[in-house]
Structure 1
Amino acid sequence: GGRRFQCNFCGGMSECPTFYFAHIRADGRRADSEERPELSRGSVELVATKDYMVRPPMVVTHFFLIDASAYAVESGATACACAAIASVLDSIQGGDSTRIGIATFDAHLNFFSMKPGKQATMLVMPDSSDPYCPAPSALVVNLRENRDSIAELLEAIPGMFTQPQPAESIGGAALFGALQVLKGCGGKITMFLASVPNTGMMAVKARPQGVKSGDRDPQKILQCGDPSWTRLGQQCADYQVAVDLFLLSRHYMDIATLSEVVHRTGGSLYEYDGFTPELDQGQLENDLRWNMVRPQGMEAVMRVRCSAGLSVEEYGGAIYQRTLTDVDLAAIDSDKAILVKFKHEEKLSDTQNAFFQAALLYTNTSGQRRIRVHTIAVPCTNVLGTLYRAAELDTQIFWMARKAAEALPGATLAGVREQVTGQCVDILYAYRRYCATSTSSGQLILPEALKLLP
């Protein structure tokens, strides 16, 4: 009569709260099912209560790190980065509460303290082995109140470093210093890097270049060369700090190492091969603007649930996991995809549906804590041919490509190729053996939904 309900995931029965009660219609549905989105829609978004908050929702905070080393200044990367940031100041989301911080680095880390109507003050951090933040609250300022001061600083920065600059770059120490600024409030670090960090904390050691490797040689160049970058990425994720990295260089950049901090925090990496200001300035500004205006969220936690008889085996993507059940995302946006692999543990009835649900708790750019829930019901079958007819080719290829990319660092090209080929052969062999037994043995039979499988 509507006083009890059954969970479609675990099958358990629960009492319906009095305030939520509604009578059941003749067709077995609640009388108010069409009026309640959570009962009639596959995707809903709810405003989270204080029970889902361990602290007040984050304020949108961006901290820009600009490479001002000798190569960056000479190549024009410093000026391009400043111009790109200035061009998107009015596009940054977050409203009147948005906060901005700016720092440059060469052989030292240079913070800038800004106040409305006053010239910015440079605070030099000479210690590159153990950098610290002198005054975090003074280094991130309200964008609306300091709009003119920020624009003037960005215009002045390229001229501050016209004198011969040191060749050293403390990019790793600068990133750690930026984390110290944001660790109390969270936010996003956008770093413009023109040369490999070669000194100070987390200096990236040069690796042999130009050495050709064969199919049977381990691809060690694709492995992270310094685990401290992985640890820094984990620290950033713990403090809800995302990292976006713009690589503005004409020379080799150890992307396998530098990308670790991006991958762990749900950030984005942009690489401009053979960076030339005249050719790449427009693209840089477009990329940065989209980075700021695209639909996005902060300090997110995601959990995926499924029906009894199934379980989540693993997650894939630019994620960080503290536990086996939850996915932590310092940042999430419309350009990201998260893969989830399910494991079939028990027999499922072909007369019932299997249910999958992804719930994302996040803070939007308006400072509101929300819960976005996607739920889907899929039919079960014990007929293998039906399963092949409903196969999703794009998902299959995406998963295989992702697993191949994850396996390649440290492995061999031949080994990964054999692995992918073996997966394709197993899929097609099972179809031929169990779904196309009436055809001649010499005839090539492919399932309609997977004809384009590699």
Structure 2
Amino acid sequence: VFRSTLKSVPHTQNLLNKVKLPFGLVIHPFKDLSSLPVISAGTIVRCKRCRTYINPFVSFLQERKWRCNMCFTVNDTAEEFLHHPVTKTYGEPHTRPECTNSTIEFIAPQEYMLRPPQPAVYLFLMDVSHSAIETGYLQIVCDSLLDHLDHLPGDSRTRIGFLTYNGTVHFYRMSEGLSQPQMIIVSDIDDMFIPTPENLLVNLRESKSLVQDLLHQLPRIHTSDAEGEIDTYSALGAALEVAKKLIGASGGSGDGVPTIHPLHWPRGWLKVSWRTPMQGGWGKPPQAPSTQVRDYYKKLALDCSAQQVAIDFFFFNSHYIDIATLSCASRFSAGDLHYYPSLHVVHNPLEAERLSRDLERYLSRKIGFESVMRIRCTKGLAIHTFHGNFFVRSTDLLSLANINPDAGYAVNLSIEDPLTDMSAVCFQAALLYTTSKGERRIRVHTLCLPVAKTPADVFNNVDCVAVVTLLSKMAVDRSVTASISDAREAMMNAMVDPLKAYKETLPQGMTTAGVYVPKSLSLLPLFIQCLLKHRAFRLGVSTRLDDRVFAMISLKMQPATYAMYDIHPDLYRVDDLHEEGGLTVSGREIPQPNILPLTAESLSQSGVFLLDCGWRLYILVGRLTPQSDDSRDRHLVLSRLVQDRTESSMSTTEFLINLQQKLT
């Protein structure tokens, strides 16, 4: 949930500079948790000066006084806090759940609400232009919605609506007096308006039958030959603008399903380039969109964020659509992005199946509305860069119109004042959100770390996974502001510099030729090599620009666990499993196969192998096994064997030899 790149924090910025390691936090604030203490209290105890929530790392001077672990202010203990809510005892505040759990959730009192909690509102925008309909995606989306209408997060007030668009925008009126939904077409996309003030967003429970009728009808209404002429235009910009007006009054989630750019709408106009350049920052296209166009989508997102609306995008495209520009709408509204290149129900059924599975998760996962997250740290530490999808409202406050359990964030830290007099420092992330049931809650995560006085203490306590996760997000920023080549060089330096610094801390005469790596960083060279071969940063391999951009966006917005599977998948052999050494779960022995190196030498023609990439699982069946089907998709596994040599990249052995040369 909450981890630091350094598990022992240097006591000065000079020491941090000396060890050459990145210092930051990676946070998964809304992670699905199997056990989460929930407290309902009339008064939530916080520091009167810095507003830190009371936590296990405060110190009680006596039962009626406690010292804040962030700013060290002494606070009075509220009378109510002296009563234990579970044991019903009195006078032992340090035993309360708030002081014994580093992650806890409060049911917020009235003072934490600017307005009454709003109902969950979902507005789905679906591209019905010719190229979109040809993919067959509309049937998949409508079927998934029909299957999961009852699982959409919300309560009896939940509202839902639908817009479709091609060269025009189509509204669907679902009122009680109608036997079936009524489609209203607005063709003046230069001056969009809402054609009727009512029954475009309807109560899901009260109008469920009409919603189901519409979802059954949409694939039949919009077919590739439903009309005499082929509509190849996509008024996405107009649809987003009117969706903002429609949903903005109550907040919620706007879900866009575009396949190509808005070609017909002046304010969101983008020219599609059918060429696919490979290099550059985002990979600058020959006809890059102007700053004005990109700023348009950013402004749209900020307007949505101010109205507590998030924009989630699902991209299906076989040609270049400039995801870099469109993604601004999701990035600054705290939305989500999904990408299915060349999806087609007939020609690419794998992507179609993946969309169906992803929608199952997307439509039923927990969600928080009207969210803000503030990160606090001990006096002397400072926050200077955030990573993820959000709008920064102030130096330590993120505005998140929506928060979901698959969203991750990171932050870079610096040491402004010496921590010499401290034995430990603390960090706290507080997420204030509204549940889909309309309840205001505060989820608080607190982390406490010791202070290190020597380089050895720092090097022996590095979280390698957190380091690589943070470096990947920083490398994406460098790619955008400079170039991919600069980002690759920065990642190499981020590996070489700490190892040089570590070697200097070893006693003279102990070091000979070789690569000296502290145990905590033993996997860093492997992970850096994986990043250099990742689709986001690789060179010398033909990579479609939108593929590269989405790979970068994924690294920016994924939590550490998901990101690491994306960077370095786990490979297992699964055709010779044994119960020996397995785990016992509910009385059953679950085999635990060994993780294999990501190299072709780990494979055999007679074996079956599982590649775990986090969001995707691949099974490779050897050609000599009875189940072999000689699939044309074998390259999906073989391309992830990052420890092998390719025409444009080194093997792991060659990479380590090259690293040794850089260290001498």
Q: What do residues 292-345 of structure 1 show as CA deviations (whole Å, max 9, x unaligned)?
A: 222221111010111111122221111111222210111111111110222111
Q: Is the 8 A contact 1:101 1:140 kept in 2?
A: yes
Q: How far off is 1:93 after superposition?
A: 1.4
Which of residues 328, 338, 348 is equivalent to 2:409?
338
Q: Which amino acid aligns with 2:483?
A: T
Cα 1:438–1:374 shift into 2, 3 Å: farther
Q: Which amino acid aligns with 1:343?
A: S
Show the counterpart of 2:203. 142
Cα 1:153–1:212 shift into 2, 3 Å: closer
Q: What SS does the corresponding residue of 1:133 show, helix, strand or coil?
A: coil
Q: What do residues 116-137 of structure 1 show as CA deviations (whole Å, max 9, x unaligned)?
A: 4632122222221231223454
Cα 1:447–1:104 shift into 2, 3 Å: same
Show the counterpart of 2:459. 388
Runs (5+) with no aligned partner, structure 1 = 24-28
Which of residues 259, 266, 284 is equivalent to 1:220?
284
Written as runs of structure 1 = structure 2, the 5 A alignment for 1:287-298 is 287-298=358-369
Show the counterpart of 1:153. 214
Which of residues 120, 123, 129 is equivalent to 1:63?
123
1:252 aligns with 2:320: yes
Cα 1:59–1:267 shift into 2, 3 Å: same
Cα 1:22–1:353 shift into 2, 3 Å: farther
Q: Is the 8 A contact 2:125 2:165 kept in 1?
A: yes
**What is the rounded CA distance, in whole Å, between the counterparts of 1:426 and 1:273 in structure 2?**
38
Greater shift in the superposed pair: 298-307 or 190-199: 190-199
Q: What do residues 241-277 of structure 1 show as CA deviations (whole Å, max 9, x unaligned)?
A: 1111112232322211111111112222111111112
Q: How far off is 1:431 after superposition?
A: 1.1
Q: How far off is 1:433 after superposition?
A: 1.3
**What is the rounded CA distance, in whole Å, between the counterparts of 1:266 and 1:437 in structure 2?**
51
Cα 1:21–1:151 shift into 2, 3 Å: closer
**What is the rounded CA distance, in whole Å, between the counterparts of 1:188 and 1:157 in structure 2?**
21
Q: What SS does the corresponding residue of 2:493 show, helix, strand or coil?
A: helix
Q: Which amino acid aligns with 1:240?
A: Q
**What is the rounded CA distance, in whole Å, between the counterparts of 2:357 and 2:384 in structure 1?**
38
CA RMSD of aligned residues (A): 2.3
Q: Which amino acid aligns with 1:87?
A: D
**What is the rounded CA distance, in whole Å, between the counterparts of 2:285 and 2:109 in structure 1?**
47
Cα 1:364–1:16 shift into 2, 3 Å: same
Q: How far off is 1:389 after superposition?
A: 1.1
Q: Which amino acid aligns with 1:264?
A: F
**What is the rounded CA distance, in whole Å, between the counterparts of 2:282 and 2:442 in structure 1?**
43
Q: Which amino acid aligns with 1:256?
A: A
Which of residues 169, 183, 205 is equivalent to 2:234?
169
Q: What SS does the corresponding residue of 2:94 show, helix, strand or coil?
A: coil
Q: What do residues 205-232 of structure 1 show as CA deviations (whole Å, max 9, x unaligned)?
A: 223624454x7x8832498652211211
Written as runs of structure 1 = structure 2, the 5 A alignment for 1:27-426 is 31-34=92-95, 36-116=96-176, 118-161=179-222, 162-163=226-227, 164-200=229-265, 201-207=267-273, 209-213=275-279, 219-221=283-285, 226-227=293-294, 228-278=296-346, 279=349, 280-349=351-420, 352-409=423-480, 411-426=482-497
Q: How far off is 1:406 after superposition?
A: 1.8
**What is the rounded CA distance, in whole Å, between the counterparts of 1:250 and 1:59 in structure 2?**
37
Cα 1:15–1:410 shift into 2, 3 Å: closer
Q: What do residues 34-92 of structure 1 show as CA deviations (whole Å, max 9, x unaligned)?
A: 2x211111011001122111111121111011111122233323333333322321221
Identity in percent: 29
Q: Which amino acid aligns with 2:336?
A: S
**What is the rounded CA distance, in whole Å, between the counterparts of 1:218 and 1:57 in structure 2?**
39
**What is the rounded CA distance, in whole Å, between the counterparts of 1:211 and 1:20 in structure 2?**
62
**What is the rounded CA distance, in whole Å, between the counterparts of 2:318 and 2:129 in structure 1?**
14
**What is the rounded CA distance, in whole Å, between the counterparts of 1:362 and 1:232 in structure 2?**
22
**What is the rounded CA distance, in whole Å, between the counterparts of 2:445 and 2:509 in structure 1?**
41
**What is the rounded CA distance, in whole Å, between the counterparts of 1:438 and 1:354 in structure 2?**
36
**What is the rounded CA distance, in whole Å, between the counterparts of 1:13 and 1:262 in structure 2?**
42
Q: Which amino acid aligns with 1:309?
A: G
Q: Is the 8 A contact 2:272 2:320 kept in 1?
A: no
Q: How far off is 1:421 after superposition?
A: 1.3
Q: How far off is 1:390 after superposition?
A: 0.9
Q: What SS does the corresponding residue of 2:231 show, helix, strand or coil?
A: coil
Which of residues 443, 448, 452 is equivalent to 2:519?
448
Q: Which amino acid aligns with 1:170?
A: A
Q: How far off is 1:14 after superposition?
A: 2.1
Show the counterpart of 2:559. none
Q: How far off is 1:423 after superposition?
A: 1.8
**What is the rounded CA distance, in whole Å, between the counterparts of 2:282 and 2:76 in structure 1?**
59
Cα 1:438–1:391 shift into 2, 3 Å: farther
The count of residues paired between Structure 1 and Structure 2 equals: 446
Q: Is the 8 A contact 2:277 2:283 kept in 1?
A: no
Q: Which amino acid aligns with 2:220?
A: G
Q: Is the 8 A contact 1:362 1:369 kept in 2?
A: yes
Q: Which amino acid aligns with 1:14?
A: N
Q: What do residues 9-30 of structure 1 show as CA deviations (whole Å, max 9, x unaligned)?
A: 111112223333479xxxxx96
Q: How far off is 1:159 after superposition?
A: 2.5
**What is the rounded CA distance, in whole Å, between the counterparts of 1:255 and 1:46 in structure 2?**
38
Q: Is the 8 A contact 2:277 2:284 kept in 1?
A: no
Q: Which amino acid aligns with 1:261?
A: A
Q: How far off is 1:410 after superposition?
A: 5.3
Q: What SS does the corresponding residue of 1:409 show, helix, strand or coil?
A: helix
Cα 1:273–1:19 shift into 2, 3 Å: closer
Q: How far off is 1:370 after superposition?
A: 0.4
